[in-house]
Chain A
Amino acid sequence: MTEWTQKHLLDLDDVSRDEIELVIETARSFKEVSAREVKKVPALRGKTVALLFFEPSTRTRVSFELAAKRLSADTLSIAASASSVTKGESVLDTALNIEAMNVDAMVVRHQASGVPQILAQGTKTVIINAGDGCRAHPTQALLDVFTMVDKLGPLDGKKVVIVGDILHSRVARSNISALLTMGAHVVVCGPSTLMPCGVEGLGVEVTTRIDRALDGADVVMALRMQKERQNELFLPSITEYIREFCITSERLKKARPTALVMHPGPTNRGVEIAADVADGAQSVILEQVTNGIAVRMAVLYLLLGRKTE
């Protein structure tokens, strides 16, 4: 049986298949806890988890907060707007002050890539990355993989298609990393202006043609199209994006009839995904949200539910 050995969860690049499977197995147990009348176990009683969100987020913050609470840990939530960051304090100084209050873990979301790494090096506390810039969002990818395995079984050889703004997406980056580790065949699809340079080198198939991408797919994951990108000259117009890449029920017919439709949220209905697809029988978008709590409980338990130095 594998054990979790890493102190932090910063990205999934160095996380092995055994470790991802350990998270999945552990998350399965925690999913049962959330379905109970008493949705709480005492595993992390007396631990304190600080949620440092320097970038706005509702879903991820609430999910981590509920995960920590269902493990009986105490939580404190710090939003950037209300913190001393606005008074000029550096991120590391903020973290050192929180650490001085004896917290056991910090869950960090920041608009700049690499901030969780800086905190992991500069503090002694366990750091969990809740999304940094365009770099990584490990717990989102883990919950996506958990949802896929839960529905489809082992992912070896399964075709997973990620559609949208790959360039700016930390969700895509972490998912590519985890899915390749799990043996899936990953296809990324989007406008060439929103495709990172050299993405083929990771071992994924790249295409700008949606029909080709969706052909025979087991999983179709749409990413949020940030409307601001239009003004940043990455897209001629949102209308054109919709015409070329929106996941419509017509296009979805190309995928397997059993294909899962996923989205990390928040969704722009009618932009990257048609409303009837988001609400359709193949959609597991809300299950992803439910599974997110179980996966974050698993991560918190694996990182904190043992003797730490």
Chain B
Amino acid sequence: MPTAQKIMDPDQVRRALTRIAHEILERNKGVEDICLVGIRTRGAVLAARLKRAIEQIEGKPVNCGILDINLYRDDLTLISHQPAVRETLIDFDITGKAVILVDDVLFTGRTIRAALDALVDLGRPSCIQLAVLIDRGHRELPIRADFVGKNIPTARTQDVRVRLVESDGVDDDVVVEERRSV
């Protein structure tokens, strides 16, 4: 049986996102030139929550979009299980904007690499910043997050599982567990 350790509960997730929302506003001096882009699936959920938090704090609207990175993966020809491609929904111009890229877990950095390639195909942002709920280490590429909900030291043999009410239908939680043998 895998031993699971609970890292975050709904309140901790909420507080972390509220803090990140403030940090994003502080760093960018307001909402004028920023937009949020969440990576499917859970990054998109988190981006939508950050949008609400930021709009509540500033009282001004922020653009928020959804990015599907599967077509930009570097392992498409290595994996036999093919990821389902979903639509990228970004209905605003990112050129000249500060794009806040949002994902749930930062691990090897390869997803973020794919997302960066996908973003520059859509326009030329003035800068791209990265916000993640969890940074679990073990980077394989020179990528770091600008905004982190929680740093969790993990072993490579472990999985970090994030569940969010919008995408998973259960209360928010973050759990670290031993990888299930396939």
Residues of A within 8 A of B89 (CB): 32
- Which residue of chain B has the shortest Cβ distance to A301 in the bound complex? B85
Q: Mostly helix, strand, loop or mixed at chain B's interface?
A: loop
Q: Render A8-38 as a binary contact track against B, CB cut-off 8 A, 1 for contact.
A: 0000000000000010011011101100111
Contacting residues, chain B, for A25 (C-beta < 8 A): 84-86
A26 and B76 contacting across the interface, CB-CB below 8 Å: no
Asked whether B82 lies within 8 Å of A3 as measured between CB atoms, the reply is yes
Give a binary string over A262-278; 1 marks a CB under 8 Å from any B CB, 0 the rest.
Answer: 00000000000000000
Partner of A36, one of B76, B87, B121: B121
> Are A43 and B84 touching (Cβ within 8 A)?
no
- Per the bound structure, the CA–CA distance linking A177 and B174 in Å amounts to 47
Selected from B88, B121, B122, B123, the residue in CB contact (under 8 A) with A29 is B88
- How many whole Å from A292's CB to the nearest CB in chain B? 18
Most buried by A among B73, B80, B88, B121: B121
Closest Cβ of chain A: how far from B130's Cβ, in Å? 21
The A interface is mostly helix, strand or loop, or mixed, namely loop
Interface size class of B (residues with CB under 8 A): 20 to 34
A1 at the interface (CB under 8 A from B): yes
Does A41 sit within 8 A of B, measured CB to CB? yes
B79/A307 in contact, CB under 8 A: yes
Asked if residues A41 and B72 are in contact (CB atoms below 8 Å), the reply is yes
Contacts of A28 in B (CB 8 A): 87
Q: Does B81 contact A (CB under 8 A)?
A: yes
Q: How many residues of A contact B (CB 8 A)?
A: 26
Please tell me if the beta carbons of B86 and A306 are within 8 angstroms of each other in the complex.
no
> Is the CB of A88 closer than 8 A to any CB of chain B?
no
| Cβ-Cβ contact count across A and B, 8 Å cutoff | 60
CA distance A181 to B84 in the complex (A): 22
Assess A1 versus B84: contact at CB under 8 Å? Given A36-B121, A38-B122, A42-B72.
yes
B181 contacts partner chain A, Cβ-Cβ < 8 Å: no
Point out the residues of chain B lying under 8 angstroms from A43, CB to CB: 70-73, 76
Q: Name the A residues within 8 Å of B118 (CB-CB).
A: 41
A7 at the A/B interface (Cβ < 8 Å)?
Answer: no
* Shortest Cβ distance from A305 into B: residue: B76
Interface presence of B78 (CB below 8 A): yes
CB of A22 within 8 A of CB of B88, answer no
Q: Mark B150-162, 1 if CB is under 8 A from A, else 0.
A: 0000000000000
Q: Which residues of B contact A168 (CB under 8 A)?
A: none
Is B9 in the interface zone, CB < 8 Å from A?
A: no
- Interface positions of A from 33 to 51, Cβ below 8 Å from B: 33, 36-38, 40-43, 46
- Contact: B80 with A41, CB < 8 Å? no
Q: In the bound complex, do residue B81 and residue A3 qualify as a contact, i.e. CB atoms below 8 Å apart? A: yes
In angstroms, Cα B68 to Cα A4, docked, is 19
Q: Which residues of A contact B72 (CB under 8 A)?
A: 41-43
Is B77 positioned at the interface, with any CB of A under 8 Å from its CB?
A: yes
User: Which residues on B sit within 8 Å (CB–CB) of A26?
Assistant: 84-85
Contact A42 B88 (CB under 8 A): no
The answer to whether B117 has its CB under 8 Å from any CB of chain A is yes
5 A-B residue pairings within 8 Å (CB atoms): A29-B86, A37-B123, A41-B121, A301-B71, A302-B82
Residues of B whose CB lies within 8 Å of any CB of A are 68, 70-73, 76-82, 84-89, 117-118, 121-123
* Interface positions of A (Cβ within 8 A of B): 1, 3-4, 22, 25-26, 28-30, 32-33, 36-38, 40-43, 46, 71, 301-302, 305-308
Q: Which 10 A-B pairs have the closest CB atoms?
A: A41-B71, A306-B82, A43-B71, A307-B80, A38-B121, A29-B85, A29-B87, A305-B76, A26-B85, A1-B84
Q: Given A29-B88, A307-B78, output 20 extra A-B contacts at Cβ < 8 Å.
A: A3-B81, A3-B82, A25-B86, A29-B71, A29-B86, A30-B85, A32-B88, A32-B89, A37-B123, A38-B122, A41-B71, A43-B70, A301-B71, A302-B82, A305-B77, A306-B76, A306-B77, A306-B79, A306-B80, A307-B79
